[in-house]
Amino acid sequence: MYYLAENGIEKRIETWKVIVPLHDNDNKEFPEELINSVKTKVINEFGGLTAVNAVGQWQSGRELYTDRNIQVIVDVPIKDHKETTSFFLSLKGELRKELRQHKIYVTFESGATELLSVNEFLQELGFEVNSNQRQLLTQYDVQRLIEQSDKVQKRLGYRTLSLIRNNELKCIIWEREILGTKIITAIEDKYPPDTVIFSADNLEEYFKEDTFGKPLVVIGSYEYQLHILDNEKRRYITGHPSEFSAYDQGNKEPIFFHTLYGALKTSEFIPIYLETLLVDYIILRELGIKGEEIAMIVSSDGIWHVGGGCFIGCNAYLPIKKILEPIIKGYDKVRDLYENGAIDEISLMQLKMLYNYKSKKEMFIGYRKYRGQGTTDVKIVLPEFKVNTRIQQSKEPKAS
């Protein structure tokens, strides 16, 4: 996919094009919502698209017909050809049915090459670097990252070397290493002097008793924990929200507010809350507490895990008693999946990253160490980095 060039990095891509008609054979326009849904489906799959208005003409006998269409264009890495082909074949069939067309044109061209700078290449791999930032990487470093780009994107072998606040330059200098390559980023420091700075991969080492009550900033949360969300579609371990639509209340719907997802309907709240419960359960299990020792306490203010002298609270206002049934059943189901090793790697990574598993676990360990019994009620501030999240969801997430 990536190749070292004389003045940068070459990225091999293929271009897919879909012709989407804007009206039927009787010249009646299709609803705008239908056309927009096609665009949304492509964006959710690939993260973006180019839409070009196009006019086609064809002749039958002496009649000249004119068609108005949009041409949807997507550039995709060559390595994803099999999955991309499957997606467009499925889309082609759906469009033929929904738009009542005899034929939908889908084409692709291979062999295109995009030229990237070193910093653009690093950004594609998920590193928090600015495009105009100077990078002291040798060709050997770049070649090593290219050869192991799949491992890099999964953040294997990652560690922070140093994290220093430079008061004179008003920036935080973050040096880290991945697969033997050192990368340095200068991050704007706009935090109060008493702010405690952590690196996302090393929270436990820096966590000390004198950090209690002070503002905490985690550097590298996106790079270390959240990058996988930019490269994979959303996978619900607990079931897609549509599977819980029977629990929606219509006009009487209570609105659940979530810090990441914003306002949620009941059907959206249930799987997200279940995932949060599963993360808490995983943390307790990884602390050495046996599954049979972990009990769940349910109240209108949320659900608590208790076991091994520890407790983790999953706060939420639960005004509807009947949603406790799918939550409790779903919890037993996903806990069994976890215990049996039946959750696939990407889904488990997404789960942990979405709910700040790393930060939550290390903070829990720190609180248990310095305050006796553990709790996770800690406010963590994340630095502002531009993240183009490809995660599929029914609502836009609120900015952190």
For 181-215, the pLDDT digits (tens) are 888 888 889 888 888 888 877 765 555 666 666 77
Q: How far apart are CA 237 and CA 194, in angstroms?
A: 39
Nearest CA-CA partner of 71 in 23, 111, 43, 39:
39
In this prediction, residue 33 carries a pLDDT of 87
Q: How far apart are CA 182 and CA 177, in angstroms?
A: 4
Q: How far apart are CA 122 and CA 109, in angstroms?
A: 26
Shared domain check, 184 and 302: no
In this prediction, residue 378 carries a pLDDT of 40
DSSP sequence for 193-240: TTPEEEETT-HHHH--GGGTTS-EEEETHIIIIIGGGGTS----SS--
| CB 389, CB 230: distance < 8 Å | yes
Domain end: 176, 192, 226, which one?
A: 226
In this prediction, residue 320 carries a pLDDT of 63
Shared domain check, 374 and 249: yes
Q: How far apart are CA 306 and CA 317, in angstroms?
A: 19
- CATH number of the domain to which 22 belongs: 3.30.70.120
Shared domain check, 361 and 332: yes
For 238-286, the pLDDT digits (tens) are 888 888 888 887 777 666 766 666 778 888 888 988 998 999 899 889 8
Secondary structure of 235-299 in the HEC alphabet? CCCCCCHHHHHHHCCHHHCCCEEECCCEEECHHHHHHHHHHHHHHHHHHHHHCCCCHHHCEEEEE
In this prediction, residue 91 carries a pLDDT of 93
Specify the 3-state DSSP secondary structure of 323: helix
In this prediction, residue 258 carries a pLDDT of 67
User: b vs e for 210-241, b when ≥16 Cβ sit within 10 Å of the residue's Cβ?
Assistant: ebeeeebbbbbbbbbbbbbbbebeebbbbbeb
Residue 386 lies in a domain: no
Stretches in the chain below the pLDDT threshold 70: 156, 203-213, 224-226, 228-232, 253-255, 257-261, 317, 319-320, 367-400
Question: Widest CA span of the chain, in angstroms?
Answer: 88
Domain end: 55, 85, 116, which one?
A: 116
Shared domain check, 50 and 179: no
Residue 325 lies in a domain: yes
DSSP 78: G
Shared domain check, 242 and 217: no
Domain end: 208, 226, 244, which one?
A: 226
The range of the structural domain enclosing residue 287 comes to 230-381
If one counts the domains in the chain, the total is: 3
Residue 389 lies in a domain: no
DSSP 108: E
DSSP 29: B
| pTM score | 0.57
